[in-house]
């Protein structure tokens, strides 16, 4: 009886400390704000190792270092919506980042996400579409909270449950819950008008290059946009395989892209001296690797 009381107290302390326990053997649930998503030179991929317990999951092998927790994946084509927040006048990002989305679907890189199969044998297809863009001229000022991000998304009257609505901020905008100090971007979901809406925040690395950009000379000559490209890829991969924060993650709460954050694989040098690791459409990008969920699990740029 005394032991049971101690366990109960310990459990209450964990919850009070903000540790969210998953539904499978105590796996920590992801927050969508990632683990290891701030830039650390030489940061290794999969620093958290394999799960500490087996989760029987039919089609899934827990030895791949990431486990299925029975939530949905985004099986159908992913529709990306950009909400350009702040001042984007005469900024080449408004061309560079749409080019990213129109080219990433169907690529060997995004095909990695098809390795995330549910127990019902459902998996995300390799389709991504840029479905809409909107501009928001500082409706909530230059200091945003997590709640502000959702309000900015809600103002667009989102209805697409196969969509991911990204709020992209100009360099003068801060996200006060930890941008540049704890994360560079994040994803989440919420019920908006009775729809399960997936959305995210994409911070501008030009605000804090040492925290959110891997290099100061960038492939497309725009440090902020090129840094955002990798952050967008990261959050889109996680929204695809863990849209409601209850599907694919490891025992530490790291989602697939978290496990490969700031690892880039084999790179090449572009004409302006920047590093890149893939060509999408007519552009070179330096995009982080993603976790391949087969053969023991590993970080890669293609599948």
Which helix H or strand E contains 152, and what residues bound it? helix 146-154
End-to-end CA distance of the chain: 52
Does residue 37 fall inside a structural domain?
no
User: What is the 3 state secondary structure string of 24-90?
Assistant: CCCCECCCCCCCCCCCCCCCCCCCCCCCCCCCCCCCCCHHHCCEECCCCCCCCCEEEEEEEECCCCC
Q: What's the CATH code of the domain at 72?
A: 3.40.390
Total Cβ atoms within 10 A of residue 206: 20
Does residue 61 fall inside a structural domain?
no
Q: Which two tokens stand for residue 28?
A: 């920590």
Rounded to the nearest 5°, which phi and psi values hold at 179? -60, 135
Which helix H or strand E contains 98, and what residues bound it? helix 93-104
Does residue 24 fall inside a structural domain?
no
DSSP class of residue 21 equals B
Does residue 261 fall inside a structural domain?
yes
Radius of gyration for the chain, computed over Cα atoms and rounded to the nearest angstrom = 19
pLDDT at 62: 72
Does residue 229 fall inside a structural domain?
yes
> What is the DSSP pairing of strand 128-136 with strand 78-85?
parallel
Digits of tens for pLDDT over the chain (303 positions)? 333 333 333 233 222 333 344 444 467 889 898 765 666 544 444 443 333 333 333 345 678 999 999 999 999 999 999 999 999 999 999 999 999 999 999 999 999 999 999 999 999 999 999 999 999 999 999 999 999 999 999 999 999 999 999 999 999 999 999 999 999 999 999 999 999 999 999 999 999 999 999 999 999 999 999 999 999 999 999 999 999 999 999 999 999 999 999 999 999 999 999 999 999 999 999 999 999 999 999 999 999
Put residue 194 in one of left, alpha, beta given phi > 0 → left and psi -120 to 50 → alpha. Answer: left
Does residue 26 fall inside a structural domain?
no
pLDDT at 37: 63
Does residue 290 fall inside a structural domain?
yes
pLDDT at 60: 59
Parent domain of 152: 68-300
Kindly provide the b/e burial profile for residues 33-69, where b requires at least 16 CB atoms within 10 angstroms of the residue's own CB. Answer: bbbbbbbeeeeebbebebbeeebebeebbbebbbbbb
Number of domains within the chain: 1
Does residue 238 fall inside a structural domain?
yes
pTM of the prediction? 0.87
**Nearest one of 253, 200, 197 to 228, comparing CA atoms:** 200
Put residue 9 in one of left, alpha, beta given phi > 0 → left and psi -120 to 50 → alpha. Answer: alpha
**Nearest one of 240, 95, 109 to 162, comparing CA atoms:** 240
Distance of CA 83 to the CA centre of its chain: 16
């Amino acid at each position: 009886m005394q032991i049971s009381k101690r366990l109960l107290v310990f459990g209450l302390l964990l919850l009070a400390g903000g540790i969210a326990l998953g539904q499978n053997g105590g796996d920590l649930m992801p927050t969508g704000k990632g683990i290891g998503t701030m830039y650390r030179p030489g940061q290794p991929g999969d620093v958290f190792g394999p799960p500490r317990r087996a989760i029987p999951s039919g089609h899934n092998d827990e030895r791949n270092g990431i486990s299925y927790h029975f939530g949905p994946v985004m099986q159908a084509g992913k529709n990306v919506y950009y909400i350009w927040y702040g001042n984007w006048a005469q900024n080449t990002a408004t061309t560079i980042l749409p080019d990213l989305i129109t080219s990433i679907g169907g690529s060997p890189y995004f095909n990695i996400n098809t390795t995330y199969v549910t127990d019902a044998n459902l998996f995300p297809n390799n389709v991504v579409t840029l479905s809409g863009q909107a501009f928001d001229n500082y409706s909530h000022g230059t200091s945003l909270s997590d709640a502000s991000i959702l309000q900015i998304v809600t103002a667009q009257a989102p209805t697409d449950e196969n969509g991911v609505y990204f709020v992209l901020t100009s360099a003068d905008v801060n996200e006060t819950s930890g941008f540049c100090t704890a994360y560079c971007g994040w994803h989440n979901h919420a019920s908006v008008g009775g729809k399960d809406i997936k959305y995210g925040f994409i911070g501008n690395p030009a605000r804090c290059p040492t925290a959110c950009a891997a290099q100061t000379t960038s492939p497309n000559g725009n440090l902020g946009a090129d840094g955002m490209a990798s952050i967008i890829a990261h959050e889109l991969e996680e929204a695809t395989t863990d849209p409601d924060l209850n599907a694919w993650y490891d025992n530490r709460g790291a989602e697939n892209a978290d496990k490969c954050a700031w690892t880039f694989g084999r790179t090449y040098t572009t004409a302006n001296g920047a590093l890149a690791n893939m060509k999408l459409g007519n552009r070179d990008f330096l995009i982080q690797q993603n976790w391949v969920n087969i053969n023991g699990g590993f970080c890669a740029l293609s599948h």
